[in-house]
Structure 1
């Protein structure tokens, strides 16, 4: 469960903010309930169900303004750490997108459903956290089918978004996702929160530094990491202090 996108360490996140295709929705009505020192959720971005891909590590930019960020979490749900992440987000009236693996999703379905009930968005991250380029096309597609089945079983709806484990995209899966009108998400900013012995101060400083370089974007964190859960209150406060605005993604 404590796997991560190690290829992020070699990617540059200093590209200028570009235009994206997604359209902005209405402001989040919950924004402001937590007071002026909370990050809040600035607006909702209503995403179409489409065969698109976003995230400047590999794809075009999402349609964000300078200073806007999207919070995303990978590898959960994990009962030991995901509730702490949800608690920190609730304190800031902050909404996020959780890219879940199928195995932990089936082990903790009630936690996953509670996450959605709190206003967050659920998405897919592979049934198993495989290195897909090392697998045959048949095994890759079988993993996707298992992931979709697990998502439907837990949420009773069709999945709309997917992030490749390790950001290792493959042609067979890209083709299958496009045929299902599932949007692929890469990232704009990562903080290597999967590395051991990362303190809240280290992760917070790294996040703000990289966001100042990129001007905002899609943030990758891991709710399956204890150290990420411990650092999230500090990171959310720092986002608010430095004037970043949180955008939440929803598929209708």
Structure 2
């Protein structure tokens, strides 16, 4: 009886390990070194600009205006729960030439979700983002918190989505973040060929955090251009693997 229980326990442990193993890619330094395509590494002369957690009518329009003023396009990873509230704003993103991608329906860590629930969440968001138009539907998927699971990878394969994380972030969701810390945090790891993660909504972040991100954005745009780097969406960031 003890042997049966031990065998069952080992089987459960192995299953949990297999489920959670892709979550190791959330460790950014290792991801950048070992999985450059997943991290968002592209050609040295380009930087991909990405935003998570929108679209939010309280904040996303301000990002649209600023990006238009600087002639920059970006990739927006949209939450289904946010997009459902304002499909018109999602269409504005597409009409402005930005790329829309999938961040899931709910902003929940996938480690605590079954493969079926994970698939349903991603598929539901994919379908709604796809309804916004654009060429060929959404191409990219970024999991909440950057935490992948085996179930998410299987779902992406079935849904023809490519998981995409980042090489540099601003930690702009934190209450302690300032425009200065956001710029310093991004540029501490950003090099040509990198992908930047920022947030155009505070729906899962400290209240009002998007304002600091918005204030930091012109400085980040100038930082990249002063180094001769072209800033744009992931679609222009032809990814390379090593």
Aligned pair in 2 of structure 1 residues 17, 71: CA closer, same or farther (>3 Å)? Answer: farther
- Residue 12 (1) aligns with residue 34 (2): no
Aligned to 1:80: 58
Size of the alignment, in residue pairs?
A: 204
The equivalent residue for 1:222 is 199
Q: Over residues 149-175 of structure 1, what are the superposed CA-to-partner deviations in whole Å (9 max), with x where a residue is unaligned?
A: 322344386322111111111112211
Aligned to 2:38: 55
Match of 2:170 among 183, 191, 200: 191
Q: CA deviation at 1:15?
A: 5.1
Deviations 1:75-116, CA, capped at 9 Å, x for gaps = 000111111111111111111000000010111111111111
Query: Aligned-pair distance for 1:14?
Result: 9.8
Q: 2:216 aligns with which of 226, 231, 237?
A: 231
CA contact (8 A) 1:97 1:123 kept: yes
Q: In 1, are the aligned partners of 2:101 and 2:138 still within 8 Å (CA)?
A: yes
The corresponding residue for 1:134 is 112
Q: Sort the Cα spacing of 1:68 and 1:13 in 2 relative to 1 into closer, same or farther, 3 A.
A: farther
Aligned to 1:3: none
Q: Distance in 2 between matches of 1:108 and 1:138?
A: 27
Tell me, yes or no, if structure 1 residue 118 matches structure 2 residue 135: no
Corresponding residue number in structure 2 for 1:249: 234
Cα pair distance change 1:208/1:17, threshold 3 Å: farther
Unaligned 5+ residue runs, structure 1?
1-6, 21-53
Whole-angstrom distance in 2 between the partners of 1:149 and 1:88:
28
1:69 matches 2:47: yes
1:17·1:215 contact (CA, 8 Å) conserved in 2? no
The one of 132, 138, 143 aligned to 1:159: 138
User: Unpaired segments of 5 or more residues in structure 2?
Assistant: 1-23, 202-209, 237-242
- How far apart in 2 are the matches of 1:235 and 1:70? 12
Indicate if the aligned counterparts of 1:113 and 1:154 stay in contact, CA closer than 8 A. Answer: yes
CA gap 1:154/1:119 in 2 versus in 1, 3 angstroms: closer
Does structure 1 conserve the Cα–Cα contact (< 8 Å) formed by 2:140 and 2:163?
A: yes
Rg larger in 1 or in 2?
Answer: 2
The secondary structure found in structure 1 opposite 2:234 is strand
Name the stretch that deviates more: 90-99 or 234-243. Answer: 234-243
Whole-Å separation in 2 of the counterparts to 1:226 and 1:8: 29
1:238 is displaced (CA, Å) by 2.4
Give the helix-richer structure, 1 or 2. 2
Q: TM-score, normalised by structure 2?
A: 0.74
Pairwise CA RMSD: 2.7
Distance 1:136-1:9 versus aligned 2 partners, 3 A rule:
closer
**How many angstroms apart in 2 are the aligned matches of 1:9 and 1:177?**
17
Q: C-alpha distance in 2, partners of 1:249/1:215? A: 13
